A and B are shown apart, each in its own frame.
Chain A
Amino acid sequence: MADNCAVELRNITKRFGSVVANSGINLQIKRGEVLSLLGENGSGKTTLMNMLAGIYQPDEGEILADGKVVAINSPKDSYALGIGMIHQHYKLVDVFTAAQNIILGINDEKMDIKKTSSKVREICQRYGFDIDPDEKIYNMSVSQKQTVEIVKVLYRGADILILDEPTAVLTPQETEKLFVILRNMRNDGKAIIIITHKLNEVMAISDKVAVLRKGEYIGTVNTCETNPQKLTDMMVGRAVTLNIDRPKYADPKPLLKIEGLTCVDKEGIKKLEDVSFEAMGGEILGIAGIAGSGQKELLECLTGLYPIQSGTIKFDNDGEEVNLVGMAPMQIKNMGVGMAFVPEDRLGMGLVGSMGMTSNMMLRSWKNGKGPLFDKKAPESLARKIWKELEVVTPSTSFPVRRMSGGNIQKVLVGREIASNPKVLLSAYAVRGLDINTSYTIYNLMTEQKMKGVAVVFVGEDLDVLLELSDRILVLCGGKVSGIVDARTTTKEEVGFMMTSIGGKGGEV
């Protein structure tokens, strides 16, 4: 065994029910080294690291720390081995100061805030952190909060640090600062693992890269011996043929013209920047991108649910061009703009979980009809139609949709949206978590709509599906359009590369 190997994972397998999140994974983490854990969404990176942090326990395989087999049954065990994980979502108490947060949960030490503060200052000085231990958390910026999380694990004596997508919420300048600190810590002999899917950062910070794909361990390479293209190939793998039927619509016409769309979130971080594209009637426009590249915001901007900072959304309403920017969803509907939207969060946004199919049909029609009472007949018959045609498994149309299976929930949602005879159909991760058969049902419904002349926008995460279902693919990267390619001629590698770096090598089509 290598003398400086801090932690080793051997043949680790973790299952959740029938889903295999990790399968036979081997990994070595050495002191004085930064290891990047690279992989697409759902490839099992976070699950694997959670097993080191004591949040999950592996079903098979063993974990070795300093060459000895260990059992990590809780985060406490993990700390005892010097492993500290900085999660994607910070776990800090807002009204406490940094120092108070840092000693929170340490039992074997007397509460001495002054001593803690001075020790925190010492750690800060050593690695170049920039926080005041007596500052309250709610006064801090996102990057300062992250710093507190890092100091917290260092304070507890961690010398193996795991960072779960640390740069997702940081600006480029803050990222650079973080990297300087990570290098300092590496030079200090700490072992660092960062989970990421940004290739440029992998190249900039890490010494080694381990790649996971769909729960499988693909391999570990030295960063200096590889390049982004090779890594992308490892990450996305070879193209798989799915045989999705893709007819061509005779006469695609532009229906939606988006120009210079920019929006920011509540913290003032740009979610979309200067996005321009056209969605054609009779075409499926696939949208590819790493999770959080602005897909959700893009669809919500189009439907009037997300505030737009600048740009125009022009809709061709039977020859008359209308700008949808600044309109509320109800106004858009009242204009006669047939826009259907299948959101990512099915129960939290698209449906009401505690209600049955009929009431969920009413979400689109409850305003119809005069008088204060709603009409339940039309939605009831629509619910029965969808129940029958899409073969939804449910005991009745009043059975709460929350208690249906994921695939049936999605059938209810997609069925309702298509029933409104839309001109534009927006969908986000429409087949996430669905079995093969239901997935194909959804693909067929999308294609059916396309052949009716509807402009279908399909945000997806599985590149194989996007490549076979879409006519064109728009690739988003960090809120910007990385490129638009013809789905029939492009390759998985090209799209994958554009997802991780702006522009890629693909040209406009």
Chain B
Amino acid sequence: MSKEKRSPMIHLAKRSEIDPKAAWAIRFGSVIVALILGMIPVMITGNNPIEAYGIIIKGSLSKPMYIKQTLKVAIPLLGCALAIAPCFKMRFWNIGAEGQITAGAIAASYFALYWSDKLPHIVLLVVMFLSAIVVGGIWGLIPAFFKAKWNTNETLFTLMMNYIIIGIVAYLQGGPWEGRKGSQIIPMFAKNARLPEVFGVHCGWIIVLVLTLLMHIYMNYTKHGFEVAVIGDSSNTARYAGMNVGSIMMRTMFLSGAICGIVGFITVSGANHTLYSGVANGVGFTSITVAWLSQLNCFAMIIISMVLAILTKGSNTLQTKLAVPASISGIVTGILLFCMLGCEFFINYEIKIRRNKEAKV
């Protein structure tokens, strides 16, 4: 024979299909692996990891007070994950949620600061809500417009837009909206401009739960949702079916920005009662994790955003109790994301080990 060709011992092969049950088993396994890996940094700090996980759970769920605080963290995460879900479904990588939240927060804050004595409570809140939708939506629309017209890169564009709007807040903070001169702080909102509480937590939670239901319907049962799904699979097919890809892209990004705007409104009116440049507080980025971990399933987002909120809130307790840095929650979240994304690889590919040499024909 002219040549002896050996295939390697181990190689990867693309799976043609996988049983959904097996896929979920792999996903569940990856969460377990992530939790186990998450123990390592705790052990490095010289603590018992099992005890640490216990404290995280206790510190976030054991008292009504803790639960309220955990919910406050979960609300914006869930809202924002809902906002970026249709973009990601369309494969439009909107990582500018941070900026769109901030844009909505600015609009709501304007009315909170300058119209609170002129409008009654409910009317003021509705005006703040609507203005946040419009401004957040426009902030999301801009990168989509450029993408549709000149095919700019949406990832970079939306990211850059974040820094612009955060800069604008910093300017307002130190300039026109500054409270006491030299304080660099915008004054607290009047009572009139604050969201009422329901069961001890600002009513933002009702808003995001309603949004969850609406977004689920939007993505799965509406004409718009169908268009988004088709574009996500193949924009050529969308064109073939007579869809105007550019305008659908702009419409979806407006919607996404608008929901982010609502999150911004909830944050300033319900939680912070004021505006500062860090108002979004990384929610725009963390919510990408939420959306991705839930595979863009709106109801799964409720669970995932709660899990991340528990990790965040519980880690703060962990810090006071065991002097383990609170950034442990960031580490565990990171490991979780890494494992979940990594497991998609094992869902799509299988590892084949060569047993014996195949007979040559």
The answer to whether A and B assemble together is yes
Hey, which bits of chain A sit against chain B, CB under 8 A?
57, 59-60, 62-63, 69-71, 73, 303, 305, 328-330, 333, 341, 343, 345, 347-355, 359, 362-364, 366-367, 372-374, 403
Question: Chain A contacts of B2 at CB under 8 A?
Answer: 62-63, 69-71
Q: Return the 6 tightest CB-CB contacts between A and B, nearest first.
A: A71-B3, A330-B242, A329-B242, A363-B241, A352-B233, A349-B236
- Contacts A366-B226, A403-B17 given: A57-B239 contact, CB under 8 Å? no
Binary interface profile of B, 218-252, with partner A (CB < 8 Å = 1, else 0)? Answer: 00011110110110011011011111100000000
The answer to whether A349 and B237 touch across the interface, beta carbons within 8 angstroms, is yes
Q: Which residues of A contact B234 (CB under 8 A)?
A: 347-349, 352-353
Q: Which of B222, B230, B240 lies at the interface centre, i.e. has the most chain A CB atoms within 10 A of its CB? A: B240
Chain A, Cβ-Cβ closest to B17: A403
Contact of A355 with B233 in the complex, beta carbons under 8 Å: yes
A351 to B234, CA, bound (A): 9
Bound Cα distance A329, B243 (Å): 8
Bound CA–CA A348/B223 (angstroms): 21
**CA distance in complex: A290, B34 (Å):** 55
The reply to whether the CB of B5 lies closer than 8 angstroms to some CB of chain A is: yes
- Extra contacts, 13 of them, besides A63-B2, A70-B2, A329-B241 (Cβ < 8 A), are A57-B5, A305-B239, A328-B242, A329-B239, A343-B240, A348-B234, A348-B236, A349-B234, A349-B237, A350-B237, A366-B241, A367-B223, A374-B226
Contact between chains at B233 and A73 (CB < 8 Å): no
Asked if B356 is an interface residue, CB under 8 A from chain A, the answer is no
Interchain CB contact under 8 A, B226 and A359: yes
In the complex formed, the residue of B with least CB distance to A59 is B361
Contact A353 B223 (CB under 8 A): no
Judging by beta carbons under 8 Å apart, are A353 and B233 in contact?
yes
Q: Which chain B positions have C-beta within 8 A of A354?
A: 233
**Chain B, Cβ-Cβ closest to A365:** B241
Task: Assess the B240–A341 pair: CB atoms within 8 A.
Answer: yes
CA distance A374 to B229 in the complex (A): 13
Partner of B241, one of A60, A353, A364, A372: A364
A sample of 27 cross-chain residue pairs with beta-carbon separation below 8 angstroms, ordered by A number, consists of: A63-B2, A73-B3, A73-B5, A328-B244, A329-B239, A329-B240, A330-B244, A341-B240, A343-B240, A345-B236, A349-B236, A350-B240, A352-B229, A352-B230, A352-B233, A352-B234, A352-B237, A353-B234, A362-B226, A363-B237, A363-B241, A372-B223, A372-B224, A374-B221, A374-B223, A374-B226, A403-B17
CA distance A330 to B227 in the complex (A): 14
Bound CA span A367–B243, Å: 10
Q: In the complex, what's the smallest C-beta–C-beta distance from B361 to chain A, in angstroms?
A: 7
Q: Closest A-chain residue to B241, C-beta based?
A: A363
Residues from chain B with Cβ under 8 Å of A349 in the complex: 234, 236-237, 240
The complex places the Cα of A305 from the Cα of B16 at a distance, in Å, of: 32
Neighbouring B residues of A57 by C-beta, 8 Å: 3, 5
